[in-house]
A and B are shown apart, each in its own frame.
Chain A
Amino acid sequence: MRSFLDRLAQLAVVFGALCLTVMTAIITYQVVARYVFNSSPAWSERLSLVLLAYLVFFGAAAGVRLGFHICITAIRDAMPGPVASVFISATHILVAAAGLVILLAGFQLTTTLWEFAIPSLGIPRGLALLPLPVCGGMIILFSIANLIGLGPEEQAEAA
């Protein structure tokens, strides 16, 4: 289970990295097209923004597993052991709750906007919002895993 979750998080980051690479290529192409071919593509900025959403939300979900989100641990660290572990559990529950709202809202936004097309791309607007529910689902999964002691290895040792 642990290695599955680790792999899922790493996969999400690699997917994000891929999006970043493609975004770079698209915007560079936009500059080249303007100066070399004298025409700016209409789709480039919009498509990069869609990719940015995938990069951010997939990466953000992975961050819950890989622990790279910035948080303030000074107060928690100063607390006696039992209090600190209550804080840690509360954090996982709250992050899971936020994940649930992201999942529900994202699902609603994606389905509502599915029938509308993004004009410059011709793809459903919902496709740009799809990362939201996926991210929400992954956040819930990773937070619950953290809560029930299936967190990443280092964390299990520390606890």
Chain B
Amino acid sequence: MELIVLFLSLLGLLAIGVPVAFALLISSMIVFALLGLNPLIAVQRLSAGIDVFTLMAIPFFIFAGDLMTQTGIAARLIKVAEGVFGRIRGGLGHVDIGASMMFGAVSGSAIASVSAIGSTMIPIMEERGYDRAFSVNVTSAAAILGLIIPPSHNMIIYAAASGISISIGDLFVAGILPGLLCAAVLMVTVSIIAAKKGYPKGSFPGLGVLFVSAISALPGLMTAVIIVVGILGGVFTPTESSAVAIVYTLIIGVVVYRSLGVPQFKAAVINSAKTTSMIMLIIGSAAAFGWLLALLEAPRMLSDLILGLTNSPILIIAMVLVCLLLLGTFMDMAPLIIIVTPIFLPVMQAIGMDPVHFGIIMMLALGIGLITPPVGTVLFVASAVGKIRMEDTVRSMWPFYLALLLSLLLVAYIPQISLLLVK
């Protein structure tokens, strides 16, 4: 009964346009009152949900990503990708994917990726005869790569939400091959569409130019290496690594790229403060919401339900994938990770799945949710950057949905793709 009130009030609040963080909090408060508990506990859970040292990596990753974006790294990465992929048919589509993949490694944010890569790539693509909808499609699909390619702050949320000890270093490493796989599948998709529509090939700029652009992008790309190697080598905790990444980016931006001045720093830190408070409030409210779900024994009920229906791991994985994809279409990623991890992880562990593997599945499945309507933040931003209506973006998006779905199935059913590189 209380569970029904909890979900219905959440849906109702979301439907009338209450911000996600407040919808989670208010629906929790209602059920706290219904259960005869003091609704003030909801606020206490909210505050406790933020007061977690590991989660402090999130503002730092966001800040490092914003600073890196301000240095103008996107343009350098696009140059490298153009040198490598430009001469294939539909070259700029491949360039977009390659650049988004590298940008994912330095920023970890899909939204930053669509705005940084999209604002440069979409106009260039249109100028060279690509459909604008196609350019927006490629950019938004490729932005998802940033969630899987390490480092990714969503993986930190997952590790914190799991309630068990999952190594963030392992999660980061586990994302590498699935990220490359998705990129490859997306590139095949671009090739097929490009051949059909007769999109042009680019020209090869020559090894010398490619070498120079690679050298110029290298200091930026090193951020990702510092973070991942630093965590794996036990040099830093994830939180420390993200703070070090900020300092490193500052040095690179000021000394090497010389594109980071006081105005850029100000823009980055203000933007990060906004993004951080928005995301962390959602995380805190989701923690209060999740605490209630646990109190009402929702995780146990759902796992009994699923395990009672079938004991075939293949079917159970399929059911969880469908749930994740459906939930992802109308909820944002961070609150979903906090809420569904304690619900689904025990089920997946019961069928013998590695928690690291499940983490990667969740990143990809919920990532796809970011580019599907009705609630697809990345899709909104990409459509806004491309100055095109969201409906028009979605109409031609299906080959990319199929491609990502195929990647998701491969990643879900072949654990080695995620776990091969993990010790």
Docked complex Cα distance between A118 and B244 (Å): 26
Contact B274 A66 (CB under 8 A): yes
Contact B56 A52 (CB under 8 A): yes
Any chain A CB within 8 A of the CB of B358?
no
Docked complex Cα distance between A73 and B46 (Å): 25
Contact A13 B59 (CB under 8 A): no
B interface secondary structure, majority? helix
Please pick, from B19, B44, B277, the residue contacting A16 in the complex, using a CB distance under 8 A: B277
Which residues of the partner chain B approach A104 to less than 8 Å between Cβ atoms?
40
Contact B280 A52 (CB under 8 A): yes
Contact A95/B59 with A69-B278, A132-B43 known, Cβ cut-off 8 Å: no
Which residues of the partner chain B approach A76 to less than 8 Å between Cβ atoms?
16-17
Which residues of the partner chain A approach B247 to less than 8 Å between Cβ atoms?
24, 28
Which residues of the partner chain A approach B14 to less than 8 Å between Cβ atoms?
71-72
A: number of interface residues (CB 8 Å): 54
Which size bracket describes the interface of B in this complex? 35 or more
Residue ID in chain A nearest B373 by CB atoms: A74
A interface secondary structure, majority? helix
Docked complex Cα distance between A28 and B245 (Å): 10
Contact A53 B277 (CB under 8 A): no
Which residues of the partner chain B approach A23 to less than 8 Å between Cβ atoms?
56, 59-60, 243
Contact B43 A20 (CB under 8 A): no
Docked complex Cα distance between A98 and B240 (Å): 34
Any chain A CB within 8 A of the CB of B22?
yes
Which residues of the partner chain A approach B47 to less than 8 Å between Cβ atoms?
53, 106, 109, 129, 132
Please pick, from B17, B18, B26, B278, the residue contacting A63 in the complex, using a CB distance under 8 A: B278
Contact A75 B15 (CB under 8 A): yes
Which residues of the partner chain A approach B272 to less than 8 Å between Cβ atoms?
17, 20
Q: CB within 8 Å of A: which residues of B?
A: 13-22, 25-26, 29, 39-40, 42-44, 46-47, 50-51, 53, 56, 59-60, 63, 236, 239-240, 243-244, 246-247, 269-270, 272-274, 276-278, 280-282, 284, 330, 332, 373-375, 377
Other A-B pairs beyond A28-B247, A69-B19, A109-B40, 17, CB < 8 Å = A13-B274, A20-B276, A27-B60, A31-B244, A55-B277, A56-B281, A57-B277, A66-B274, A68-B274, A70-B20, A70-B332, A71-B14, A72-B17, A98-B25, A98-B29, A129-B47, A132-B47
